[in-house]
Amino acid sequence: MSEPFLIGDGMTGGYGKGPDILHDCTIAVNPGEIAVIVGPNGAGKSTAMKAVFGMLSLNAGAVRLGGEDITRLSPQDRVVKGMGFVPQTSNIFTSMTVEENLEMGAFIRTDDITETMEQVYNLFPILRDKRSQPAGELSGGQRQQVAVGRALMTKPKVLMLDEPTAGVSPIVMDELFDRIIEVARTGLPILMVEQNAKQALEIADKGYVLVQGRNAFSGTGQELLADPEVRKSFLGG
């Protein structure tokens, strides 16, 4: 099997000089796939994603993007390399309009961005209607769409979402997942941390169950959903 497009390989590390939170944890995603990280509270799900994005230093292991070792790069440099990251909170510029949010997303680009912006508007039609409204005035689900749209504006090679459905209603959650699938169909690999394990695994091509910073189970979404042990321990039977 060839190396996956993005892989956090055997990552061990923690925040600053604190204790290690991740222990030999491996996360990977390939083009056209949705990879989902799930697990109980405090399992290090978000930490694993932040490690992939370079927001904490690794004591062991490596992160490779398209075969290139990017372990030592800062998050900003990883953005330039083609990683799009949507943080869990404060992921939009609340005082700026939707369109300005998208423009700022494309800040590092020097070429014409109108086409990308058109794609984002096609993907999230509601944003087109609200393009000149301050993003802070939108509803929770719409804000998340702005946040994802902002990250897409760099034309990333991989999109990482940290709990995109946190704090939104179930209906909005379903809609967001639909959008995410649509994004994935364009061939963009998506790595996502999710609290709503069941729904997330249903759309996942690949699932990682973390427990205490270690890979506990991994497999396709369907495999994990079918695995009796996974069901018992965190899918509530």
**Residues near another protein, by CB under 8 A:** 75-76, 79-80, 85, 87, 90-96, 100, 103-105, 107-108, 150, 154
Cβ partners under 8 Å of residue 10, min gap 6: 24, 25, 26, 60, 61, 62
Q: Which residue has the tokens 């939707």?
A: 98
Minimum separation from the CB atom of position 80 to another protein (A) = 7
Minimum separation from the CB atom of position 124 to another protein (A) = 18
Largest CA distance in the chain: 51
Minimum separation from the CB atom of position 227 to another protein (A) = 35
Q: Compute the distance between CA of residue 123 and CA of residue 178 in angstroms, rounded to an integer.
A: 10
Minimum separation from the CB atom of position 100 to another protein (A) = 6
Amino acid present at 139 = S
Minimum separation from the CB atom of position 228 to another protein (A) = 40
Decide whether 90 or 114 has the Cβ nearer to another protein.
90
Decide whether 45 or 150 has the Cβ nearer to another protein.
150
To 5 degrees, how large is the angle CA 167–CA 168–CA 172? Answer: 165
Minimum separation from the CB atom of position 67 to another protein (A) = 23
Amino acid present at 157 = K
Decide whether 79 or 120 has the Cβ nearer to another protein.
79
Decide whether 93 or 177 has the Cβ nearer to another protein.
93
Bridge partners, 25 (sequence order): 11
Whether residue 218 contacts residue 201, with contact meaning beta carbons closer than 8 Å, is answered with: no
Decide whether 38 or 188 has the Cβ nearer to another protein.
188
Cβ-based neighbour number of residue 154 at 10 Å: 21
Half-sphere exposure in the Cβ direction for 78 (13 Å, CA) = 25
Q: Compute the distance between CA of residue 74 and CA of residue 76 in angstroms, rounded to an integer.
A: 5
Decide whether 135 or 200 has the Cβ nearer to another protein.
135
